[in-house]
Amino acid sequence: MNHLAHLFLSPDEPRVRIGSLMGDFVRGIDIRQLPTEVQVGIAHHRAVDTFTDSHPDVLASKRLFSSRRRRFAGVALDMLYDHYLLRHWQRFSNVQAATFIAHVYREFGEYEHLMPEKMTLVTRKMAGHDWFNAYSDMDQLGFALNRVAQRIRFRHEFHDIITEIKEHDEELERRFLSFFPDLITFAGDTR
């Protein structure tokens, strides 16, 4: 799962929500030194990722990518799932997406003191450039995926993976809509 989905699925407590995002930024950090609520969020993040990575619809979605790009299918799907979450937000939430996003952007600023430095830099970019609302546009998602591709330090064919996403959009979306309710149930059970 990508950032927006982790925040959406997190238990509704600001420090837990920060922890649910922090799961991607804890390498080299002794998480036992963090507040209990943040540790709960990190554990929730890891459980959500494990569930996602083993779900049959996610595994089938990865197989839709060409062999030359399949290595990066998980990264592409994580970001695509934020797009689909925004596309179908009203199916999953009674709160408007814009309201939720504005709320988590404010929490980023309020809880920076809990974040590792790298996370602080990223969350400032997320809020400052409004990454989450940008993910609602497929072309903007393609730009974001290409920015990820630029950071890969070895030879790859990840660039322009959005072309394969667009080619399989209908099936990828159908599989997301099958998978995501299962994930919501799982995430709620692990709170």
pLDDT, averaged across the chain = 91
User: Which residues neighbour 60 within 8 Å (Cβ) at sequence distance 6 or greater?
Assistant: 175
Domain ranges for the chain: 3-189
Which residue from 57, 36, 41, 45 is spatially nearest to 5, judged by alpha carbons? 45
pLDDT tens across 39-89, in order?
A: 999 999 999 999 999 999 999 999 999 888 778 888 899 999 999 999 999
Q: What is the pTM of this model?
A: 0.92
User: What single string gives the DSSP state of each residue in 24-43?
Assistant: TS-TT--GGGS-HHHHHHHH
Mean pLDDT of 15-38: 92
The answer to whether residue 191 scores a pLDDT higher than 60 is no
State mean pLDDT over 170-189.
95
- pLDDT in the model for residue 8: 96
Q: Work out the average pLDDT over 146-158.
A: 67
Nearest alpha-carbon partner for 22 in 138, 146, 145, 107: 107
pLDDT over 70 (residue 157): no
